[in-house]
Amino acid sequence: MEMTREQRLSKLLDAYSHHYDIERDVTVEHITYPAMAIYYLRDENYVLSKKNVLNVVEKHEYVYFYVTEHLGVEDLQLQIETTMTDGLGRIKPSPEHMSSMVKLVILADTIDEEAKQLIKKTRFQKNYRLALHGWMEYHIAAMEISTKSFLSNPAGKGAKKTLEQNFGSGAK
């Protein structure tokens, strides 16, 4: 029996829930995403006590999940613009900020050929104060359920790998 899109989303969220905080039904501008995952890491190094901090490094990830029956190029452009704008708004550059990743993970029954090309060529990276206040990168990964194919932009290979591990031929 084939899994529904909602069952696939639940399985994917379960995989992300080990390291991410999951929020359900997140509204960004006028679009409601079925889920969003947020990861936050803060690493501090001390000398003798916590009062004497040597350095602090913060890393953030914001993952937006989008589930649809059919993904066209116009819809994809809207999703990219919306998630990128919202993700950039969440980033707070500072000397402690190392990096932030904004990710869009898509589960779609079918994906237009133009949308597939847009996924593969989408690239965005931003440095804050010559990277002294960190940097950000935009990742996108998608699964076309009807063909069981996986796509990503060059930066989104990690998210694509997560999709393949959960829904690929070797998935449990």
* Domain containing residue 85: CATH number: 3.40.1350
Q: What own/partner pairs with CB < 8 Å and gap ≥ 24 does 75-83 have?
A: 75/115, 76/106, 76/115, 76/118, 76/119, 77/118, 78/31, 79/31, 79/104, 79/106, 80/104, 80/118, 80/122, 80/138, 80/140, 82/28, 82/29, 82/31, 83/28
pTM for this entry: 0.91
Q: Does 92 fall in a domain? A: yes
Q: Does 156 fall in a domain? A: no
In tens, the pLDDT along 83-124 reads 999 999 999 999 899 999 999 999 999 999 999 999 999 999
Residue 34 in this model has a pLDDT that exceeds 80: yes
Counted domains in the chain: 1
Residue 10 belongs to what domain range?
5-148
Q: Does 101 fall in a domain? A: yes
Q: Does 30 fall in a domain? A: yes
Mean of the pLDDT values across residues 145-165? 93
Burial 36-55 (b: 16+ CB within 10 A, else e): bbebeeeeeeeeeeeeeeee
